[in-house]
Amino acid sequence: MLINELRVNAALYETAVAFDPQLPMGGGFFGSPIIPPGIEFIRGNNAVLRFNAPNAKTVVVRLGYSEGPMVEMEKQQDGIWTATIDSERAKYSAIFFEVDGVYALNPMAPIGWSHAHPINIIDFPDESADYYLLKDVPHGTVVRDYYFSKTCGCYKSCLVYTPPDYTLGKWDNLPVFYLQHGYGENETSWVHLGKVNWIMDNLLAEGKAAPCVIVMNNGMVQTEQSDGSRDWDPLTIEKLLLDDCIPYIEKHYRTASDKWHRAMAGLSMGSMQTSVTTLKHPELFGYVGIFSGFLGKIGDPGKADNSHFAAFDDKPKLLDSYKLFFRCIGDADQFIGQFKSETAMLKEKGLAPEQWKAHKEVFYPGGHDWNVWRPCVRDFLALVFK
């Protein structure tokens, strides 16, 4: 896959299911035809999308979300449907193919996990942003770890990033950053969609971040019911972290265990989870990140139990509780109204950024997607544990 005669960086095609770029399929095996990759970047900010469906009557692709803007694809003589799209403002986008009106995952295009199921994604090269690319710098390690959760009575999985040379015995008493995804995502999303491991590698190589362990859990915590069905509650993450994950991490990794070496942040649903957990437990967390975020619980504001807001009523205690309270959002985010109303609430309580040293408020260009969340975590990592 080439663009302007330069090889596309691994950050633009690496996903949870593969690291190397997709190869064409067929071409002689059992007489099958060649099926080219589902995405090819071409000059400028354009890309050709392909979907192999020789017997289909219509194929369309929707951008951003399953009911997003629709682009009709054109059938070629070889049975492969094509369409050309441009990146416009958004370099990253989810893409949803529909074949004869039915959603279909394209096996020849990059696959991630979002919207509570596997999806296709596209990541355009962005000459103005290289902070999340795979570079020739020392690299940390991402492992999938498993621990038993008393909270749900089952095993849980988390992804854990450790900084370069940690596996060689370097680093003791490291800070720990608990990082949560958004609704419909899982513990893999911050790595394979957010590229947080390469963001951190690059920051460390530039001397812009403090080394730390990053722990990513599935915030859609499922519990099995008596009838065998499974239910989930986004607020169960608080108990899962405090009772299960944090003790496991501090036992199995060379970490510190005080609040000034512990941070939590999350995007969208994960921001709400972060707000509830950190404001209820200021004795455990010294740094907070609210990305595209909610201080209050998601849902009907009149019915939500926002008892954790009591922390904002004790200003002297609050000022001593956090060294960083980082709130940010995209300037085109559909939830920006709630974000601004919570900004006004904090100002009324004397907790605006100009009134509270720890409070940082940032607006990024973009909507409710990874084009915003990647710079969110980059800037948070550059500030935390300092």
Kindly state whether residues 173 and 322 are assigned to the same domain: yes
Is 128 inside a domain boundary? no
Is 37 inside a domain boundary? yes
Mean pLDDT score of the chain, rounded to an integer? Answer: 92
Total number of domains in the chain:
2
CATH code at position 337: 3.40.50.1820
Kindly state whether residues 115 and 235 are assigned to the same domain: no
What is the per-residue pLDDT for 5?
36
Q: pLDDT tens across 89-99, in order?
A: 679 999 999 99
What is the per-residue pLDDT for 31?
55
CA distance 278 to 301: 20
CA distance 281 to 310: 12
User: If you count them, how many residues does the chain have?
Assistant: 386
Mean pLDDT of 230-239: 90
Q: 351 or 224: which carries more pLDDT confidence?
A: 351
Is 129 inside a domain boundary? no
Kindly state whether residues 223 and 330 are assigned to the same domain: yes
What is the per-residue pLDDT for 22?
77
Pairing of strands 111-114, 117-123: antiparallel
Mean pLDDT of 333-350: 96
Confidence of residue 1 (pLDDT cuts 50, 70, 90): very low
Kindly state whether residues 31 and 169 are assigned to the same domain: no
Q: pLDDT tens across 292-328, in order?
A: 999 998 765 556 789 999 999 999 999 999 999 999 9
Final residue in a domain of this structure, among 74, 97, 123: 123
Q: Which residues are CB-neighbours of 157 under 8 A, at least 6 positions away?
A: 144, 145, 146, 187, 218
Kindly state whether residues 93 and 188 are assigned to the same domain: no
CATH code at position 89: 2.60.40.10
Kindly state whether residues 66 and 186 are assigned to the same domain: no
Q: 6 or 293: which carries more pLDDT confidence?
A: 293
- For 196-227, b/e burial (b = at least 16 CB within 10 A) is bbbbbbbbbeeeebbbbbbbbbbbbbeeeeee
CA distance 135 to 228: 47
Q: What angle do CA 167, 173, 175 make, to 5 degrees?
A: 95
Contact call for residues 276 and 304 (beta carbons, < 8 A): no
Q: Which residues are CB-neighbours of 244 under 8 A, at least 6 positions away?
A: 147, 148, 149, 150, 151, 156
Kindly state whether residues 161 and 229 are assigned to the same domain: yes
Q: 51 or 6: which carries more pLDDT confidence?
A: 51
**Domain residues for 58?**
2-123
What is the per-residue pLDDT for 144?
97
Is 130 inside a domain boundary? no
Is 134 inside a domain boundary? no
Kindly state whether residues 145 and 54 are assigned to the same domain: no
Confidence of residue 262 (pLDDT cuts 50, 70, 90): very high
Final residue in a domain of this structure, among 89, 123, 157: 123
What is the per-residue pLDDT for 232?
86
Is 132 inside a domain boundary? no
Q: Which residues are CB-neighbours of 29 under 8 A, at least 6 positions away?
A: none
Is 157 inside a domain boundary? yes
What is the per-residue pLDDT for 4?
39
Kindly state whether residues 257 and 367 are assigned to the same domain: yes
Kindly state whether residues 230 and 105 are assigned to the same domain: no
Mean pLDDT of 26-34: 61
Question: Among candidates 197, 346, 333, which has minimal Cα distance to 268?
Answer: 333
**H or E element, residue 288:** strand 287-291
pLDDT of residue 27 exceeding 70, the answer is: no
Q: pLDDT tens across 79-136, in order?
A: 999 999 998 767 999 999 999 999 999 999 999 999 889 999 999 988 889 999 999 9
Kindly state whether residues 152 and 92 are assigned to the same domain: no
Kindly state whether residues 243 and 319 are assigned to the same domain: yes
Final residue in a domain of this structure, among 123, 153, 168: 123
